[in-house]
Structure 1
């Protein structure tokens, strides 16, 4: 059960604490007062994605905090244990979300930071929110199977989980079989081609740096003449050097300064080294010889490598990668038939298991459908939908799907003599709201969620029908905490706890407040809902009568 909701710097709320009670809690207020913001705050507490735009203008962050009493919620206790979240039996559960200007948020459970996914999963055990446009889910056929399954969720989840695991495996092996069968078409031709390609690459004897070395040799052999001519020119330049003249001049003046003798010694060494260098350069030049045959062999090798590159990859590395891939594919093809037979046998076994589980799932749904058909008519009769026919049509799909082989559709007839037709083609928005409320009433007898939130469930209904909707929620509140946002005086009059949301402007600062109403103020608020802004003695009397009559009906 939700005990407390603390809101700070969130949209129209500056700082607000709401203390909830068990039973039927109602929130009313003028349009734009902040009722939808309250539901938004609860949604974020339950792990929905947050927007930084919800942070109050001029503030750096917003904080939402909810305190729950989870005693007696055994399913949730198991969830906490599985996620290593400790809570003493005498403690309350506290979930918080802090939103920041950069769009990020921090989620905590009892002060421990947890991923948003954990918050979302925790929320599914704590609060069920039926949104303002929740009835529209009825207009989408794909939601009908989800609604039906929610009636038998505990019983269905284990077998549906087992089925889904097999379904994923079945799909995977089906794709593998199709891929292998595709490879087996023209198998012998493919094997022959792969063997040829592998042999061609193997026989090429490629190595990673060969291409670089071949290019160097081609460059040298193609430019032998230029190398020789340049070396002859260098040799001539060195032979005609003027260092001997330098030597003679130093030798002439060495007697004038002892330091000059040192320079003369160094020059002796240079002259000797230069002479050796000239000899080596001449020897190298004389040994250079243009080998046309060698160049032709190298160019042919490069041409061969380039052909392999065009065929298998743009580098030797890519050629070798292709060869490795071809080796694997060849191995698969050589073993393909035996592997295919094993896969087909495995698929047959999976198909058998899936068929068995899909029958079990379908049987559970058909039993649930009978219960729903019977109970929904009774609930709708109370909500002033008379002479209704309702049927859950379950047909078998041609193929397996992630949730079984059942195609589920809700059919309804709202008038005597009319044929059954798809719900989305027949019912109005108001009728859809009543159908969903009736459905929630049925689910509430089964569901373990302790708190149920209804955001403007009164859409499209009024008067006696709205009063009956309130009575339904009051009935649900005997075992579940109900939080209802409404514009209906009939629904509000039945509530156990009535909260008023008001928007005020103080010093050019707009903010909303939530206050729990006492008996006198509740009458005043019901009168406003009945007659608008002008409250009269008559409207106050009507409000009191409505509250008294609602209490008499629900007692």
Structure 2
């Protein structure tokens, strides 16, 4: 149940705090006072996309906050527990949305920042908003099956969950069969081609990092003569008798040896010097040996060039590097095995598909039977409710036709058919029903469905469009009935509906310091009588309209 709505700097509202109660709450006010803005605020609390255009002029942000009592909403409590959102000791749920001037919003639940989708999921458990333009849902055939199912949701939900699982499994199995069947097309040609590709790659016996090693080797073999010349030059520099590096180090050794006995600190230099002489001699030896071992190997060079040519050819055919070639090789092997085993797998898949078909058909038939039972009850109850709403000469039928194949919502095609005049044939709702009639049909439906509706709060936004007088009064009675088990919030222009509500709020527009703003206040007694009189007579309230308003309220109080 919605306990409180706080609004700051939101469109025409500067700072308002509205305390709601259980039962029937109604909002009235002149056109343009902000009634639709109030519904917009509730929609945003439920997770609708926000626009910076709602921010009050001259302000950087708008803040909306709603406080709910969810102590009786076990389904929501279970969902909140599932997504790890804690509820305080009073079972209060606080949703807040701050809309920033950059178009973004900060969304919080009990102080914890959450994604907008989370608020939207939670909102579906809290409030059901039915607006004056939601009649369109009645005019779309695809919504009729959803409306019918909502009446038996508790009973249907386990079956629907099972059906969705089976439907997904069945479709997946059909896709697997189609995939295998496609593999079997030109099976022998495919096997021959794949086997050839697999053999070609395997015969090449490609090794990891082989290409890099081959390129390094061919670079060396292509430059052997230059390498030998350079090594010979280095060898001469290091070992020349006239300027030998070893001889130079030996001379250094002799000079230091003469004076080592004069200074003990010189003794530490000799091991290092000896190591240098030994390492240099070893280096000269290795350079000479390495140089002598280098030969121009034209045969090896040709072998490497042929190997690189083979690798490049495979790269052009199967991948731009060795890793991709090997990946392609593995995919070919996998594909080959699939095709070879295709017929055996196809037989197994067809058996599994047949088993799934039987299961999904059984489940779909059960769902269909429940829908047919619900349709009979809906037809009977809707006619009764519509009769109360001054639609007395109508016929209504829920037309259920079996589809040729399974669909996401079963095997049923559901359409509401109606006749509004004596002697007229049943026809599609969208072809027959007017806007005012659609409002009454939807209100009747809400009345019937309120026993199974998960939302604890129901909002009706100007559902009285196109109706007045006794019909409007009956609409108010229907909403009042709904309010016995649900909190009802209604925005209306109808004096008949407003007179029935036990909690009446008035939205008024004012001007202060060249700024327009709207306020919301709870009205009682004389103020309520005056507002009902205004709704009855328009702008000019007379003694007669006041008397009529008082009488209308008294009649409503005695219902």
TM-score after normalising by structure 2: 0.85
User: Residue 286 of structure 1: CA displacement?
Assistant: 7.4
CA distance change for structure 1 residues 85 and 303 in 2, over 3 Å: closer, same or farther?
closer
* Aligned alpha-carbon RMSD (Å): 3.7
Residue in structure 2 matched with residue 180 of structure 1 by the alignment: 180
Deviation string 1:128-178 (CA, Å, 9 cap, x unpaired) is: 211231111011111000000011011111111111011111111111111
CA distance change for structure 1 residues 61 and 179 in 2, over 3 Å: closer, same or farther?
same
2:535 alignment partner, one of 502, 520, 529: 529
> How far, CA to CA, are the matches of 1:498 and 1:183 in structure 2?
70
Structure 1 residues 377-416: aligned runs within 5 Å? 377-416=383-422
Greater mean alpha carbon deviation, residues 12-21 or residues 313-322: 12-21
Residue in structure 2 matched with residue 44 of structure 1 by the alignment: 44
User: Residue 191 of structure 1: CA displacement?
Assistant: 2.7
Residues 70 and 76, structure 2, Cα contact 8 Å, conserved in 1: no
Residue in structure 1 matched with residue 262 of structure 2 by the alignment: none
Residue in structure 1 matched with residue 108 of structure 2 by the alignment: 107
> How far, CA to CA, are the matches of 1:278 and 1:121 in structure 2?
81
Residue in structure 1 matched with residue 268 of structure 2 by the alignment: none
User: Residue 532 of structure 1: CA displacement?
Assistant: 2.6
User: Residue 303 of structure 1: CA displacement?
Assistant: 1.3
Residues 39 and 461, structure 2, Cα contact 8 Å, conserved in 1: yes
Residue in structure 2 matched with residue 348 of structure 1 by the alignment: 354
Matched, 1:374 2:343: no
Residue in structure 1 matched with residue 519 of structure 2 by the alignment: 513
Give secondary structure in 2 for the equivalent of 1:386.
Answer: coil
Residue in structure 1 matched with residue 259 of structure 2 by the alignment: none
CA distance change for structure 1 residues 55 and 92 in 2, over 3 Å: closer, same or farther?
farther
Residues 5 and 67, structure 1, Cα contact 8 Å, conserved in 2: no
Give secondary structure in 2 for the equivalent of 1:533.
Answer: coil
Give secondary structure in 1 for the equivalent of 2:14.
Answer: strand
User: Residue 31 of structure 1: CA displacement?
Assistant: 2.4
Give secondary structure in 2 for the equivalent of 1:458.
Answer: coil
Give secondary structure in 2 for the equivalent of 1:394.
Answer: strand
> How far, CA to CA, are the matches of 1:62 and 1:166 in structure 2?
45
User: Residue 28 of structure 1: CA displacement?
Assistant: 0.8
Query: Alignment length, in residue pairs?
Result: 538
> How far, CA to CA, are the matches of 1:447 and 1:519 in structure 2?
33
Residue in structure 1 matched with residue 125 of structure 2 by the alignment: 125
Give secondary structure in 2 for the equivalent of 1:393.
Answer: strand
> How far, CA to CA, are the matches of 1:217 and 1:39 in structure 2?
78
Residue in structure 1 matched with residue 317 of structure 2 by the alignment: 311
> How far, CA to CA, are the matches of 2:499 and 2:508 in structure 1?
18
Residue in structure 2 matched with residue 142 of structure 1 by the alignment: 142
Matched, 1:93 2:99: no
Segments of structure 1 that go 5 or more residues without pairing to the other structure are: 248-269
Residue in structure 2 matched with residue 440 of structure 1 by the alignment: 446
> How far, CA to CA, are the matches of 2:355 and 2:394 in structure 1?
45
Give secondary structure in 2 for the equivalent of 1:491.
Answer: helix
Residue in structure 1 matched with residue 457 of structure 2 by the alignment: 451
Matched, 1:464 2:470: yes
Deviation string 1:499-523 (CA, Å, 9 cap, x unpaired) is: 0011222234433211111111112
CA distance change for structure 1 residues 41 and 234 in 2, over 3 Å: closer, same or farther?
same
Structure 1 residues 42-441: aligned runs within 5 Å? 42-56=42-56, 57-60=58-61, 62-68=63-69, 70-71=71-72, 73-79=73-79, 82=82, 91-101=90-100, 103-109=104-110, 116-223=116-223, 289-441=295-447
> How far, CA to CA, are the matches of 2:68 and 2:297 in structure 1?
92
Greater mean alpha carbon deviation, residues 4-13 or residues 127-136: 4-13
Residues 5 and 64, structure 2, Cα contact 8 Å, conserved in 1: no
CA distance change for structure 1 residues 227 and 449 in 2, over 3 Å: closer, same or farther?
closer
Segments of structure 2 that go 5 or more residues without pairing to the other structure are: 249-275
> How far, CA to CA, are the matches of 2:490 and 2:412 in structure 1?
34
Residues 70 and 93, structure 2, Cα contact 8 Å, conserved in 1: no
User: Residue 278 of structure 1: CA displacement?
Assistant: 10
> How far, CA to CA, are the matches of 1:194 and 1:483 in structure 2?
69
Residue in structure 2 matched with residue 27 of structure 1 by the alignment: 27
Deviation string 1:4-23 (CA, Å, 9 cap, x unpaired) is: 22333333333222222232
TM-score after normalising by structure 1: 0.85
User: Residue 467 of structure 1: CA displacement?
Assistant: 2.2
> How far, CA to CA, are the matches of 1:146 and 1:327 in structure 2?
48
